[in-house]
Amino acid sequence: MDGQDPSAGMAEALRLYTIARQDALTMKYTTVASMALLVYDIILTFSDEYELIWCSKFTWYTWMYMVMRYGNLLHMLTIQLLFYAWDNAPLSSCRTLLLLDAWTLLPLIIPLFLTLGLRAYATCGRTSKAKWWLGALCVIVTLAELAGDILWTVQAKVTSTPLPGLPCIYKVTTASPVLGAVLQTGPTAAFDCIMFIIVAWKMHKSYLRDRTNLVKVIFRDSLWYLVLSGETVACMLLFICLRGEHAALQPTLSSEARTMAIIVASRVILNVRRAASNSGVRSSQDSAPPPRIYFISYESEAETPTDTESHRMSDLEFARSTIAGTRGNSSDY
């Protein structure tokens, strides 16, 4: 007799298994809920998307929008769902899903950084100084994400677990999950805050000049994206604080945070295009061969504008400087 009660050991094993099953179910629900939320938003905004994206001239930024929205949805429906919801998956499949989840996600979230960076760049007047500083910030946050992915894939090990009926997330162990999470979430939250401060300051100056139509739209969407940085910080805190029995719940908010970021970034583009369209900014449709950039022009006005028309033209000028993201009249959105 070694003095241990076999029934106590069985009870402890049963307790751990029950916790693991409940946590696995939580991960499945949050993953599916995140996908459902993104699909629901696509349905809600599809009419605007069809008019402002699909029926407009396809540019590099249009393709980036498609990758950000539908590329992430495809990733969630395939790789992420299998990684978090496939019970009793073979170890070889779990290793493959682990690598795919890490290295296909990076190019899908880069458009989120570029959307915020280009938005701030446009509101800064497309100056050379803003281009280099904002470009450097985008590179830094992308390299931080890349470093987190490298650390994750190097340290993560896929091993069998004695508990049956659990998804791949329970078969992955890593030496320093906190460091990887901090590398991926900390710089992202800081980047979101910096972009909001830049846009808010520029929008405040524009508001003082009575350019209010687009200012409210841009400021509101930027504020919503700033709120999302709080969820990014919450993701980081989960990785830091959740240990032991509930360690598998560390990435619980990751899917939801990414979904909300995609929704807000997509609506930033749609709302600005809609506001610009309502203000009279439209894409040119010349008979000449289409250029590779997305030109914008103005609706014709009377030769002697009234006060209302003068205010509208001021809004059009602001729309032009806000929508255009590169030298000339090319459009970001």
User: Using CA of residue 200, residue 203, residue 209, residue 211, what is the dihedral sign?
Assistant: negative
| Residue 249: CA count within 13 A, CB half-sphere | 17
pLDDT for 179: 76
Contact by Cβ (8 Å): 198, 176: no
Q: Which amino acid is at 255?
A: S
Percent of the chain at pLDDT > 90 equals 11
Is the pLDDT at 104 greater than 80, yes or no?
yes
CB 167 within 8 A of CB 117: no
Over range 185-198, report the average pLDDT.
84
- pTM metric for this prediction: 0.74
Query: 257 pLDDT exceeds 70?
Result: yes
pLDDT at 316: 45
Between 35-39, 181-185, 196-200, the lowest mean confidence (pLDDT) is in: 181-185
Nearest to 151 by CA among 176, 126, 123: 176
Q: CA–CA separation, 254 vs 303, rounded Å?
A: 55
Picking from 233, 249, 224, the residue whose alpha carbon sits closest to that of residue 187 is 233
Give the mean model confidence (pLDDT) for residues 168-180: 73
Structure token digits, residue 17:
């298994």
- For residues 281 and 293, give the distance between their C-alpha atoms in angstroms, rounded to a whole number: 15
What's the angle, vertex CA 258, arms to CA 253 and CA 260, rounded to 5? 95
Average pLDDT, the chain: 74
User: Nearest CA to 264 among 97, 85, 45?
Assistant: 45
How far apart are alpha carbons 99 and 153 in whole angstroms? Answer: 7
Decide if 325 contacts 331 (C-beta within 8 A). Answer: yes
β partners of residue 296:
283
Task: Output the pLDDT for position 71.
Answer: 93
State residue 298's pLDDT score: 29
Rounded to an integer, what distance in angstroms lies between the CA atom of residue 143 and that of residue 184? 9
What's the average model confidence in pLDDT over 326-333? 38
Percentages helix, strand, coil for the chain (3-state, rounded to 5) are 75, 5, 20
pLDDT score of 166: 81
Helices (H), 280-325: 307-323
Cβ pair 140, 187 in contact under 8 A: yes
Q: Is the pLDDT of residue 332 over 70?
A: no
Q: Which domains does the chain have, with CATH numbers?
A: 11-277 (1.20.1070)
Contacts of 202 (CB under 8 A, 6+ apart): 120, 123, 124
HSE-CB for 259 with a 13 A CA cutoff: 24
